[in-house]
Amino acid sequence: MQPPYAHNPVRSVPTGKRVLLIVGGGIAAYKTLSLVRLLATDGIETRCVLTRAGSEFVTPLSLQALSGHTVYQDLFSLTDEQEMGHIALSRSADLIVVCPGTANLLAKMASGLADDLASTLLLATDTPVLVAPAMNVRMWEHPATISNVALLRTRDVMLVGPDTGSMACGEFGPGRLAEPETIRDAIVEALSASAPTQILTGRHVLVTAGPTHEPLDPVRYIANRSSGQQGYAIAAALARLGARVTLVSGPTNLPSPPGLETIRVETALEMEAAVQASLPADAAICAAAVADWRVAHASDLKIKKKPGAAPPTLHLVPNPDILAGLSAPGPRRPSLVIGFAAETDNVENHALEKLKRKGCDWIIANDVSPGTNVMGGRENRVIILTHSNRDVWPLMSKTEVARRLADRIALCLTDKVPDGPQP
């Protein structure tokens, strides 16, 4: 569940925002009437699109009366097209909300179908989309819906709910539409995300990201599967909060995020030098997957295979621990130092041990075992561990992890939260 917007001082309550509400066909559609009223109370203007199935559950007249605007229903309506073309309609809002998000609508969104007004709008838009799913428990748990939802998450479609409880069909389980107040909170949170306060203006934040490459010779190197996505997203999210951000990145295929300084390095030694040269900083977030070892002496020439000879022996030496170095007490220590613990087993225990050993303030633990698809994937499930606290976040896109983490960092740096994450 999204945290209630009222408790997040980093995000201002938005004013003058518009929502395009797509009402799908489900018994829970009647709750959208309460939702429209709640949004109006918050000063958020709502225009409604009603699917054909949705109109079996609520009338356009009710939605029109509550929203104060024409309700759009037909892709080929001459009058609607004259008033507002469907492409313009899809871009007229700050946020598109699909509520209730039926299994059918989720499937259409996932596969890019555009065979009615609602699905065409969803395909034609570049506006953020929030879905409040509601359906029978079996439909929610069907592998088709599970994979549609997973796919939509990777495209940064936001979800609120569903809740678990008894359903109109008499069954019990996950699939109930979230309560209108919860959906309203998620809408305000999503609207605020696009208009964060510049709370970190004047602060300098250092972020490491990506893998390091440790050369064996001019053509070969030791590396790992880190894509850099999580670190880049964190750097970008902090820059959006007004921080001056220095991103020290190992080799990645990602473009440098706009609005911040990116220093590209290859090896752990180069990363450490760039980090030290970028100090002082108010906070350091070490998201890089730094190689633990490098070969003691990389060959200047390509190492040749010799027929019949044994393979070469690599003499490895440890790389400097950049995170531990930043965490060591001293005048140049950033006031907040955050590390990552990518683990394949016993994730939390290993992460806690790392938190103590490295001397940092928070550790972001994540499971990178092969089935999770976290390394190189677009989603992450993290646990934020501090010396006094523990916060488990659900599976979400790496950009959403970054946005939430940036908010936590901002609260900590501005003394609104003393020890980081609160339960």
* Positions marked active-site: 169
Query: Minimum CB separation from ligand C5P for residue 312, in Å?
Result: 24
CB-nearer residue toward ligand C5P: 239 or 341: 341
Kindly provide the residue ranges of all beta strands, DSSP E only, lying in 185-233, ordered along the sequence.
Answer: 204-209, 214-215, 221-222
Nearest to 393 by CA among 1, 6, 10, 128: 1
CB-nearer residue toward ligand C5P: 177 or 286: 286
* 265 phi/psi in degrees, rounded to 5: -130, 170
Query: Minimum CB separation from ligand C5P for residue 423, in Å?
Result: 23
Beta bridge partners of 211: 289
Beta bridge partners of 339: 286, 363
CB-nearer residue toward ligand C5P: 183 or 384: 384
CB-nearer residue toward ligand C5P: 19 or 295: 295
Query: Is 263 in contact with 232 (CB distance < 8 Å)?
Result: no
Nearest to 192 by CA among 121, 241, 140: 241
CB-nearer residue toward ligand C5P: 26 or 228: 228
Query: Minimum CB separation from ligand C5P for residue 295, in Å?
Result: 15
- Buried b / exposed e across 62-85, counting CB within 10 Å, b at 16+? bbeebbeeebbbebeeeebbeeee
Give the position of tokens 């979400």. 396
Residues of this chain that interact with ligand C5P (CB under 6 A) are: 208, 268, 286, 288, 290, 292, 319, 321-323, 339-341, 354
CB-nearer residue toward ligand C5P: 58 or 338: 338
Residue 120 structure tokens? 């065409």
CB-nearer residue toward ligand C5P: 159 or 288: 288
Query: Minimum CB separation from ligand C5P for residue 354, in Å?
Result: 6
Beta bridge partners of 72: 49
- What DSSP character marks residue 178? P
Query: Minimum CB separation from ligand C5P for residue 252, in Å?
Result: 14
- Cα angle: 265, vertex 270, 273; to 5 degrees: 120
Distance CA 35, CA 142 (A): 28
Contacts of 105 (CB under 8 A, 6+ apart): 22, 24, 51, 98, 118, 119, 131
Nearest to 335 by CA among 325, 343, 327: 327
Query: Minimum CB separation from ligand C5P for residue 322, in Å?
Result: 3
Query: Minimum CB separation from ligand C5P for residue 334, in Å?
Result: 13
Query: Is 101 in contact with 122 (CB distance < 8 Å)?
Result: no
- What DSSP character marks residue 169? T
Give the three-state DSSP class for 308. coil
CB-nearer residue toward ligand C5P: 149 or 326: 326
Query: Minimum CB separation from ligand C5P for residue 300, in Å?
Result: 24
Beta bridge partners of 209: 249
Residue 240 CA to its chain's centroid (Å) = 14
Query: Is 204 in contact with 282 (CB distance < 8 Å)?
Result: yes
Nearest to 150 by CA among 189, 202, 107: 107
